[in-house]
Chain A
């Protein structure tokens, strides 16, 4: 009984494509500021880069180890404080540490706290872990306001990134230089976190996620696995926090509070927890929405909530899940059979969405009495015409949209059957 030679290495084309994706990503990060050089874009890109590192770190817990944390921002925030203190110390002691090294100290801040609290937290998974993470989050957030010497109270700890030693002649005052520091750490962290998924620990984390009981019978202590995963997540959250501290030159209690913890959960889940790139998509989308919606409407959190509920109910795999669903169809060459049904569904679905938006804005502004201006069209919240329009859009849109969605499902089933027959779908 000799083993048949089974190659586990993927075909050469796959390897090329794999490195191709990473290289394209890195190239895009390098040229982005050259194409979009306005201050606003640079700020957005910087925030997105930080959000991606944070969301990827969160997915080490949620997607890879099956740990639902409501307090991940604790490590992000503590990383931010650690970075601020470090920057101030570098300046006051005259240490020869330039700014690009500072996120490492943010990571260490996040890691040290993970090492301390992680062991108790990860004793159990599931609801127990979720509850403890919530408690720790509240505990740290409230302590941060009490321990003024460390956290600087309401005002937080400020710092001056330009006071650190220069590197390559860069002062890191201009946003574009900060962007490149963030991009550098984004690439480094993403590669490291991806590599982590391909190590024995990474694979056993998946096993612990799927079946913590059985893991014990193949030699592993699931508690140790969860703890190590938690420490890695804490470290990379700290790196993200350090980047935030550099970006804003401040760390305050808002960084480690429940809102940040909720936001990273939200981004990661919307992006899709089952694929490595899911949280990247989620972080990009949510950061853009956040930047865009806050200026447009006062009830932007409501929209976040609706999107979140929609994803949980209709696409639990997130955006990445929706995209990857199509892969077998692309391979089987049947994708084109579902595209027409998508196009047909666009009109009523958009109508429904407009109706919902109009309804929300009408209700939100009714008491305030300010005029509504949606996509350049003004509406009066007190006018019955507006209400009728909203009602027609919602009811009519929903009615027609449902029919078109059913068409999508049918077209999808047919395409999937063909894909299955051709052996592209299990």
Chain B
């Protein structure tokens, strides 16, 4: 899958792009955090966004997922303009994101957390005439995801009482539960040990098979091992976008980022 896609030029706009960010600016007050951002992610591609802390990676995620609105410019999902839509409208169109700082339903059980994330996509929406416990497809999908994220044995524990690594896995589970075709993960492995990171990466690899993935990641070995394409964000601007090989060779990237922080 990924082999076929990486041959495609991610910079070509048009129907093939899952995500298309064009000339997006974001200012907080007078401070321009995102400047002339252009990003194209092809369908089925695994795209890593890297850049120093404070570069605007999470802000970019917020702009794409509708958490905040761009000051100017536009964002397209599968060819349709989504900038200006509310987050749930964007989510219903098949884009799902995780958060850098764990963002779960703390007082609800692990099972309930994942199940809530399954409900909209399985068509149950705001139903108040159905027993949530007797919806077979919801139950099966929830069980499957818990199994995938290795939290089946913790299903009845309130999410707030999970360990940090478990919460990060739940975060991924909630994000992929809806079956979205475009998945955005914001530093899913941040704060994890080496072993936990390895486990999380193989989990991500497996769960996003056949989907479009945009991931923010700091560990360069993970980035270069996982991504079909990489974009480098510095001071709210993408200075380079290309295959791992192109990025590795790019002099601007070396100077701005890899040179000082290479692992």
Contacts and interface: CB of A to CB of B under 8 A. Distances in A.
Contact of B108 (A206, A216, A224): A206
Interface of B: 65-67, 86-88, 91-92, 96-97, 99, 103-108, 111-112, 115-117, 119-121, 124-133, 135, 139-140, 143-144, 146-148, 152, 155, 157-158, 161, 174-175, 177-178, 206
Contacts of B104: 211, 214
B116 A207 contact: yes
A204 interface: yes
Contact of A207 (B108, B125, B129): B108
Contact of A199 (B120, B130, B140, B174): B130
A331 interface: no
A198 B133 CA distance: 7
Contacts of B144: 1, 3
Which of A206, A217, A221, A225 has the most C-beta atoms of chain B within 10 angstroms of its own C-beta? Answer: A217
B173 to A, nearest CB: 11
A203 B130 contact: no
A152 B140 CA distance: 57
Contacts of B147: 1, 3-4, 6
Contact of B128 (A6, A9, A196): A196
A28 interface: no
A343 B195 CA distance: 51
A206 B127 contact: no
A206 B132 CA distance: 13
B105 A210 contact: yes
Contact of A200 (B99, B111, B124): B124
A263 B47 CA distance: 56
Interface residues of A, number: 34
Nearest to A201: B128
A40 interface: no
Interface of A: 1, 3-4, 6, 8-9, 195-196, 198-204, 206-207, 209-211, 213-221, 224-225, 228, 232, 426
Contacts of A196: 128
Contacts of B65: 217
13 contacts: A199-B130, A200-B119, A203-B115, A203-B119, A209-B107, A210-B105, A211-B105, A214-B105, A216-B91, A217-B67, A218-B174, A221-B86, A426-B161
A204 B87 CA distance: 16
Contacts of B107: 206, 209-210
A216 B104 CA distance: 12
B92 to A, nearest CB: 5
Give the 4 A-B residue pairs with the shortest CB-CB distance, closest first: A219-B120, A216-B87, A210-B105, A201-B128
Which of B88, B135, B161, B206 has the most C-beta atoms of chain A within 10 angstroms of its own C-beta? Answer: B88
B157 A200 contact: no
B11 to A, nearest CB: 28
Which of B126, B133, B177 has the most C-beta atoms of chain A within 10 angstroms of its own C-beta? Answer: B126
A209 B105 CA distance: 9
Contacts of A210: 105-108
A264 B105 CA distance: 27
Given A206-B112, A216-B88, A199 B128 contact: yes
